[in-house]
Amino acid sequence: MEYYSRQMQTLMEELGKLPGIGQKTAGRLAYHLMNQPEAAVESLARALTEARKNVRFCRSCCTLTDQEVCPICASQKRDHSQIMVVENPRDLAAYERTGKYNGVYHVLHGVISPALGIGPSDIRLKELMQRLQSDEVKEVIIATGSTLEGETTAMYIYQLIRPTGILTSRIASGVPVGGDLEYIDEITLYRALEGRRAL
Domain assignments of the chain as residue spans, ordered by start: 78-170
> What one-character DSSP code corresponds to residue 181?
G
Q: Is the pLDDT of residue 126 over 50?
A: yes
1 confidence band (pLDDT: 50, 70, 90): very low
- Minimum mean pLDDT range among 86-90, 125-129, 135-139, 173-177: 173-177
Can you give the pLDDT at residue 174? 73
176 three-class SS: coil
Degrees, nearest 5: CA angle 85-86-91: 145
Question: What is the model's pLDDT at position 154?
Answer: 93
Confidence band for 194, pLDDT divided at 50, 70 and 90: confident
Residues of the chain with pLDDT > 90: what percent? 76
pLDDT 10s digits, 26-55? 999 999 999 999 999 999 999 999 999 999
Using the predicted structure, report yes or no on whether residue 189 has a pLDDT greater than 80.
Answer: no
pLDDT in tens, 68-90: 999 999 999 999 999 999 999 99
pLDDT at residue 172 in the model = 81
- How far is it, in rounded angstroms, from Cα 170 to Cα 76? 25
Q: Are 144 and 87 in contact (CB under 8 A)?
A: yes
DSSP 68-90: SS-HHHH-TTSEEEEEEEESSHH
What torsion, rounded to 10 degrees, do the Cα atoms 158, 162, 165, 170 define? 20
- Show Cβ contacts of residue 92 under 8 Å, excluding neighbours closer than 6 positions: 63, 72, 86, 105, 107
Model confidence over 86-98: pLDDT tens digits? 999 999 999 999 8
- CATH number of the domain at 78-170, please? 3.40.1360.10
